[in-house]
Amino acid sequence: MRNEQRVHWAAGDYDRTMGFVSRYGQDLLEWLEPRPGERILDFGCGTGDLAAKIAGSGADVEGVDISPEMAERARSKYPSLKFHCADGTKWRPDRPFHSVFSNAALHWIKDAEGAARTIADCLLPGGKLAAEFGGAGNVRSIVDANFTMLTERGLESGFALPWYFPSIGEYASLLEKNGFEVLIAMMVDRPTALEGEEGMLNWLRMFGEGLVPETERAASEAWLRELSERLRPKCYRNGAWQADYRRLRVLAVRKA
C-alpha cells in the first residue's frame, strides 16, 4: 500500500482553477470562531487564502503545509503571515496554539494517526480543532470508475487510493484515542461543479495523479482522459460537470 503524501503541487494553477476549495472552507470558519489575539494554526494551509481570512479577525495565524510550492506561494501572497513548510505528521511548533483549522487537507495525509498526534501536540489543553475534509464515500463515482479501469486491465491488486476518506465513527475514534473530545461530527453531501468543458479532466489532472497505477504512469494523461470520458454519463449533465464530494466536518477539543 502506498502511504506517501503528495508533496509537489502546481500552486499557481491550483489558485487559478481550484478556488472553490477555499471558498467552501469559509463555512468552517463559523465553527472556528477566531478571536483577536488567539494563536491559530491552519494545518495544510495550501496557498494561504483561508489563513489570511482568519487573520482578518485579529487572530495571530500561522500555516503549515508539506508542499514547498504551496508554502512559498502563501508567503508571497501574504508576507505578514508565517507559513512553515513541513510534514504535518512530524512537525511540532515552538509554542502551542489556541485552535487548529484544517480545510480540504486531511484526506491527503494517509498517516491519519500521525496527523492527529501532531494536531493534539499543537494545541493548548482545551484548544479547539475545526476540520473539514473528504469523508467515506467521497468522490465515489470517480473512485468506482477508476476501479473498473483497474480491474479490466488486471491492475487492481495492490492498488491503494491516494486519499484517506474515513467514516464519522472511524475519525471520531481516532481523535478520542489522541486526546480529543469530539463535540460535533457530521457528513455532508456537497455536489461540486467543476467548471468548463474539461472540468473533470482538469480536476483529475490536478488531484488524480495517484489514481493512475504506477505501471501506467508514463501514459497518465491517456488514463485520466479515459477516466474522464467514462465519468461523462454520470457526472456531466446539462453542459456542466459535477463531482460527488462528501465532506466530514468535525469540531473537537483537546482534553486538559
Q: Which is nearer to ligand BEZ, 100 or 104 (CB)?
A: 104
Spatial separation of the C-alpha atoms in residues 171 and 125, rounded to whole Å: 20
CA dist 73 and 79 (Å) reads 10
Which is closer to ligand BEZ, CB of 120 or CB of 139? 139
From the CB of 168, what's the least distance to ligand BEZ, in Å?
Answer: 16
Task: State in angstroms the smallest separation of the CB of 35 from ligand BEZ.
Answer: 28
- Count of Cβ atoms closer than 10 Å to residue 65 Cβ: 29
- What are the angstrom distances between the C-alpha of 36 and each of 40, 48, 59, 123? 10, 19, 4, 17
Q: What is the DSSP string of 98-152?
A: EEEEEES-GGG-S-HHHHHHHHHHHEEEEEEEEEEEE-TTTTHHHHHHHHHHHHH
Sign of CA dihedral 30, 75, 119, 20: positive
Query: What's the closest the beta carbon of residue 25 comes to ligand BEZ, in angstroms?
Result: 10
**Residue 107 or residue 205: which is nearer to ligand BEZ going by CB?**
107
Nearest to 107 by CA among 155, 43, 40, 51: 43
- Pick the closer one to ligand BEZ by CB: 28 or 59: 28
Instruction: State the DSSP code for 179.
Output: T
Pick 98 or 246: Cβ nearer ligand BEZ: 246
Nearer to ligand BEZ, 58 or 196 (CB): 196
Q: Return all residues near 128 (Cβ < 8 A) that are at least 6 apart.
A: 32, 98, 99, 100, 251, 252, 253, 254
State the minimum distance, in angstroms, from the CB of residue 144 to ligand BEZ.
14
Amino acid in position 160 = A
Give dist(CA 39, CA 107) in Å, integer. 24
Instruction: Quote the least distance from Cβ 21 to ligand BEZ, whole Å.
Output: 6
CB of 223 to ligand BEZ, least distance (A): 16
Q: How far apart are CA 109 and CA 192, in angstroms?
A: 22
| Residues forming the site for ligand BEZ (CB under 6 A) | 104, 107, 134, 138-139, 163, 207, 245
In whole angstroms, the minimum distance from the beta carbon of 163 to ligand BEZ comes to 5
Task: Give the residue with the Cβ less far from ligand BEZ, 73 or 107.
Answer: 107
